Chains A and B, each alone.
Chain A
Amino acid sequence: MKSLKASGHPFAHAATQIELLEKQAATQPRPTFRSKLQSADLFPLRPAGLDVLQINVGKMCNQVCKHCHVDAGPDRKEIMTRETMQHCLDVLAKTTIPTVDLTGGAPEMNPDFRWFVEEIRKLGRHVMVRCNLTIIVANPKYNDLPDFFRQHQVDVVSSLPFYNADKTDRQRGQGVFQDSVKALRLLNAVGYGQPGSGLTLNLVYNPAGAFMPGPQASLEQQFKRVLLSEFEIVFNSLFAITNIPISRYLDYLVASGNYDNYMDKLVTAFNPAAATGAMCRTMISVGWDGQLYDCDFNQMLDMPLRAPGRHIRDFNADELMQRTIAVNEHCFGCTAGAGSSCGGTTA
């Protein structure tokens, strides 16, 4: 399987995705995201703080997942340079942003990843890495990642869409579940997820299809029970995430004829409390090229951030806190039901 970009798919262009989202919103008898925010007295959406700097260090990945909002894969060559990383470090040094969330692609495939983590930790910031698990066993040069994470007290956040091979492999590729189990055992072996270790291993559940996630606590219970009894794996928390209708997941929805029903579900489940707690209100997303966005999804849709400085080298926290957050129909994914964010439910 290739990325949308490599296969020349129309959805490789952000403008085509936005056109579809807006055209459907205009022709279907359902309210727009903007109107729902207005009815909840939340429009325009504004920042509530700056707790997380989420940095996408590149689109290269060893996997090609069917739902990937980044359209990541081995054929994607966009990688953050050390120079841009240094700009990020400069921003951290002059602000008090407590948490850095490293994402990709597979962030570990960036040749400067380890240097970057070390430098962020020197600044005393909390680091979490969105590790796809299989990268740990993909190549011997990555086998020591659990130990590297442990040494630097990095929180590991890993996608595992289900506790069996069938559903996981359907979404993430043949053999991914088996390799994920191997990687989880390696993480557990150095202390990750073990009670009292102080090493946090959180898993991310997202539905393998055109439906919403159920209650996070119940899913966490099921995952913990099955992963422990069948694979002797332990972890801290499960984040239940709603699939956002962009990129490859949008392609899946349209190709399978599920788009309208899925959007109807998201719109019907709009929850003002989830909108109030939306992650874009407390984070800034940095693209591989240093451009700034309201979130990782807006980044993939090339929706520019509304502030004078739109590049990490021009970062101005005061100006950023005054901006209005760019929204479109895909935002319904974060505000449905119990809400959805990179840290799970929000309401």
Chain B
Amino acid sequence: METYYDPADLKKFGNISEYQKELADKFFSYYGAVFAEGALTAREKSLIALAVAHTVQCAYCIDAYTNDTLEKGCTEEQMMEAVHVAAAIRGGSSLVHSVQMMNKVKQVSM
């Protein structure tokens, strides 16, 4: 069955430089620098990326950072906790906006 997502496309990410090399080079250089060891370890950054991947619901990113966190020695428990952080922020983001709803209710109600 034909689908929009093909797992094999993940390996072709670098091909984006075919249509705009300069910007792609800058992006991949920046990308590499972001994930290098720094004030945060590469392992911590990988767990953050895994959580963000679930927030943006990018199938490529989930594939890539599931592998990457495993390679960096993360446990399944740590990986799931990272996804729960993403879920908590997403859920919390909805719920905290309910204060606006409550404000509006109070504003327009007798």
- Please name all residues of chain B whose beta carbon is closer than 8 Å to the beta carbon of A277 when the two chains form the complex: none
Interface size of B by CB at 8 A reads 12
- Is A111 positioned at the interface, with any CB of B under 8 Å from its CB? no
Question: Do the beta carbons of B70 and A209 come within 8 Å of each other?
Answer: yes
Expressed in whole angstroms, the minimum distance between the Cβ of B97 and any Cβ of chain A is 39
From the candidates A166, A214, A264, A268, name the one contacting B73 in the complex (CB within 8 A): A214
Of the stretches A14-22, A215-223, A227-235, the one at the interface is A215-223
Chain A residues, CB < 8 A from B42: 215, 218
Please pick, from A205, A207, A218, the residue contacting B41 in the complex, using a CB distance under 8 A.
Answer: A218
The contact string, 1 if C-beta is below 8 Å from chain A, for chain B 7-44, is: 00001000000000000000000000000000001110
Taking a contact as CB atoms under 8 Å apart, the answer to whether A213 and B71 are in contact is: yes
SS class, residues of chain B in contact with chain A: helix
Q: A167: CB under 8 A from chain B?
A: yes
Chain B residues with a Cβ under 8 A of chain A: 11, 41-43, 67-68, 70-73, 75-76
Q: At the interface, yes or no: A194 with Cβ under 8 Å from chain B?
A: no
Assess whether A212 is interfacial by the CB under 8 Å rule.
yes
Chain B residue nearest to A220 (CB atoms) is: B73
User: A230 to nearest B CB, angstroms?
Assistant: 13
A-B pairs with beta carbons under 8 A, tally = 33
Q: How far is the CB of A212 from chain B (nearest CB, A)?
A: 6
Given contacts A264-B11, A268-B11, contact A218 B71 (CB under 8 A): no
Q: Is the CB of A218 within 8 A of B43?
A: yes
| Contact indicator B11/A212 (Cβ below 8 Å) | no
When chains A and B are docked, how far (Å) is the Cα of A222 from the Cα of B73? 8
A218 contact set on B, CB distance < 8 A: 41-43, 72-73
Q: Which residues of A contact B (CB under 8 A)?
A: 162, 164, 166-167, 205, 207, 209, 211-215, 218-219, 222, 264, 268
- Return chain B residues, CB-CB under 8 Å to A205: 73
Per the bound structure, the CA–CA distance linking A205 and B71 in Å amounts to: 11
Q: Are A211 and B43 in contact (CB-based, < 8 A)?
A: no
| Chain B residues with CB below 8 A from A162, complex form | 73, 75
Residue in A207, A209, A213, A215 with the greatest tally of chain B CB atoms within 10 Å: A215
Q: Write 8 A-B pairs (CB below 8 A) sorted by A numbering.
A: A162-B73, A166-B76, A207-B71, A214-B73, A219-B72, A219-B73, A222-B73, A264-B11
- Known contacts: A218-B42, A218-B43, A268-B11. The answer to whether A211 contacts B72 by CB under 8 A is no
> Nearest 6 CB-CB pairs, A to B?
A214-B71, A214-B72, A219-B73, A211-B70, A222-B73, A211-B67
Instruction: Evaluate whether A207 and B70 lie within 8 angstroms (CB atoms) in the complex, with A215-B42, A218-B42 already known.
Output: yes
Q: A214-B73, A218-B72, A219-B72 are in contact. List 11 more A-B contacts (CB 8 A).
A: A166-B75, A209-B70, A211-B70, A212-B71, A214-B72, A215-B42, A218-B41, A218-B43, A218-B73, A222-B73, A264-B11
